[in-house]
Amino acid sequence: MEQSGEYRIAGSRERVWEALNDPAVLERCIDGCRSMTPVGDDRFEAVVAARVGPVKATFTAAIKLRDVDPPERYRLEVQVKGGVAGFAKGTAAVELAEVAADETLLTYQIAGGIGGKLAQIGSRLVDSAARKMTASFFERFAVDFAA
């Protein structure tokens, strides 16, 4: 699975960067996120309830930050475990570019794979589920950010 996209966010690059690194913001903006807990400087653990087609489960995600270059870019390495629902793994490369003093262009590239029941039942659905989840995140992020 590979996806990429970009979003324009009304706010300075520094503020966007801060928000993207704030567990409370992430918890509010990720659909189904039950918790987002920082573990040390460069790790988060998240619990997310998600649904891919008929597969519905509570997933635990271990997120590692890599190649962190504030406020410009980082890469997330994500390992997701869903018990009997299977697993997902992937990386997301995120870049922030200054468009104007109060406008930031966020671009992302996601690459990943799934396994177990997620793949068995959800392979053809996972792309659209991921796309939907990403769209929902940025929608909420924009609203949260403006608030």
Partner 1 sequence: MATETGIGASVKRKEDARFITGAGRYTDDVGQHGQTYAVFARSPYARARLNGLDTSAALATDGVVAVFTGADLQASEVGDLPCGWMVKSKDGSDMVQPPHPPLAVSSVNYVGEPYAVVIGETLDAAKNGAEALDPDFEELEAVVDLATAAGADQIHESVPNNQCYDWELGDKAATDAAFAQAHHVASIDIVNNRLIPNAIEPRAALGEYDEASGTYTLHTTSQNPHLERLVLAAFVNIAPEARLRVISPDVGGGFGSKIFVYAEETAVIWAAGQLRRPVKWRAERSESFLADAHGRDHVTHAELAVAQDGRFLGLRVQNKANMGAYLSTFASSVPTYLYGTLMAGQYKTPAIYVEVQSLFTNTAPVDAYRGAGRPEATYIVERLVETAAREMGIDPAELRRRNFIQPADFPYETPVALTYDTGDYEASLNRALDHADYAGFQARREASEQAGKKRGIGFSCYIEACGLAPSQVAISLGAGVGLFEVGEVRVDVTGSVTVVTGSHSHGQSHETTFAQIISDKLGVPFENVTVLHGDTGRSDYALGTYGSRSLAVGGSAIIKATDKIIAKGKKIAAHMLEANEDQVEFEDGSFNVADSNQSLTFGEVAFSAYVPANYPLEDLEPGLSEKAFYDPPNFTYPAGAHICEVEVDPDTGVVTIEKFVAVDDFGHVINPMIVEGQVHGGLAQGIGQALLEHGVYDDTGQLLSGSYMDYTMPRADDLPSFTVDTTVTPCTHNPLGVKGCGEAGAIGSTAAVMNAVTDALGVKDVPMPATSETVWRALRNGGNG
| Shortest Cβ 133–partner 1 spacing (Å) | 20
Q: Does 70 bind partner 1 (CB under 8 A)?
A: no
What does each C-alpha distance from 146 to 60, 101, 137, 141 come to in angstroms? 29, 15, 14, 8
Query: Binders of partner 1: how many residues, by CB under 8 A?
Result: 15
Question: What whole-number distance in Å separates Cα of residue 7 and Cα of residue 47?
Answer: 25
Q: Which of 144, 146, 116 is nearest to 27 (CA)?
A: 144
The correct pick among 19, 47, 119, 129 for binding partner 1 (CB under 8 A) is 119
| Shortest Cβ 82–partner 1 spacing (Å) | 8
Q: How far is CA 103 from the centre of its chain?
A: 21
| Shortest Cβ 29–partner 1 spacing (Å) | 27
The tokens describing 111, both together, are 């690459």
Between residue 81 and residue 110, which ones bind partner 1 under the rule CB under 8 A? 83-84, 86-87
Binding site for partner 1 (CB under 8 A): 83-84, 86-87, 113-121, 123-124
